[in-house]
Structure 1
Amino acid sequence: MSATMTAQPPIVFITGASSGFGAAIARRFAGLGARLVLAARRYERLEALAAELSDSRIAGPAGARAPAIHLIRLDVRDRGAVDKAIAELPPEFSEVTVLVNNAGGALGLSPAHEADLNDWEEMIDTNVKGLLYCTRALLPGMVARDRGHIINIGSVAAETPYPGSNVYGACKAFVAQFSLNLRSDILGSRVRVTDIEPGMAETEFSVVRFKGDQEKAAAVYRGVKPLSAEDIAESVVWCAMLPEHVNVNRLELMPVMQAFAGFAVKRS
Structure 2
Amino acid sequence: MPNTVFITGATAGFGAACARKFAAAGWSLVLTGRRAERLEALKAELSAQCAVHTIQLDVRDRAAVLAAVAALPEPFSRVHTLVNNAGLAQGLNPAQTSDLDDWDRMIDTNVKGLTYCTRALLPTLIEVGGGTVVNLASVAARWPYPGGNVYGATKAFVRQFSYNLRCDLAGTGVRVTSIEPGMAESEFSLVRFHGDEKKAASIYKGAHPLTPEDIAETIFWVASLPKHVNINSLEVMPTTQAWQALGITRDAE
Same fold (TM over 0.5): yes
> How far apart are residue 146 of structure 1 and its match?
2.4
Give the alignment partner of residue 142 of structure 2, picking from 147, 151, 159. Answer: 159
Provide the residue aligned with 1:129 in structure 2: 112
Q: How does 1:167-246 map to 2 (within 5 A)?
A: 167-246=150-229
* Offset from partner CA, 1:199-227 (integer Å, 9 cap, x none): 00000000000000000000000001100
CA–CA distance in structure 2, aligned partners of residues 149 and 243 of structure 1: 11
Give yes or no for the alignment of 1:53 onto 2:46: yes
* Offset from partner CA, 1:101-146 (integer Å, 9 cap, x none): 0000100000000000010000000000000000000001222332
> How far apart are residue 96 of structure 1 and its match?
0.5
Provide the residue aligned with 2:36 in structure 1: 43
Aligned-pair identity in percent equals 63
Q: How does 1:72-151 map to 2 (within 5 A)?
A: 72-151=55-134
Provide the residue aligned with 2:23 in structure 1: 30
> How far apart are residue 35 of structure 1 and its match?
0.3
SS at match of 1:141: helix
> How far apart are residue 262 of structure 1 and its match?
6.6
CA–CA distance in structure 1, aligned partners of residues 78 and 45 of structure 2: 25
Provide the residue aligned with 1:266 in structure 2: none
Unmatched 5+ stretches in structure 2: 247-253
Q: Note the aligned Cα RMSD (angstroms).
A: 1.1
Q: TM-score, normalised by structure 1?
A: 0.90
Provide the residue aligned with 1:3 in structure 2: none
Unmatched 5+ stretches in structure 1: 1-7, 57-65, 264-268
CA–CA distance in structure 2, aligned partners of residues 145 and 234 of structure 1: 24
* Offset from partner CA, 1:65-109 (integer Å, 9 cap, x none): x31000000000000000010000001111100000000010000
SS at match of 2:120: helix
One-letter code of the match for 2:145? Y
SS at match of 2:116: helix
Q: TM-score, normalised by structure 2?
A: 0.95
One-letter code of the match for 1:125? D
One-letter code of the match for 1:90? P
Provide the residue aligned with 1:68 in structure 2: 51
Provide the residue aligned with 2:6 in structure 1: 13
CA–CA distance in structure 2, aligned partners of residues 9 and 145 of structure 1: 12
One-letter code of the match for 1:221? Y
> How far apart are residue 180 of structure 1 and its match?
0.3
Aligned length: 246
CA–CA distance in structure 1, aligned partners of residues 245 and 182 of structure 2: 17
CA–CA distance in structure 2, aligned partners of residues 142 and 27 of structure 1: 22
CA–CA distance in structure 2, aligned partners of residues 140 and 146 of structure 1: 10
User: Deviation above 6 Å: which 4+ runs of structure 1?
Assistant: none
Larger-Rg structure: 1
Provide the residue aligned with 1:63 in structure 2: none
**Conserved in 1, the CA contact under 8 Å of 2:146 and 2:245?**
no
CA–CA distance in structure 2, aligned partners of residues 53 and 145 of structure 1: 25
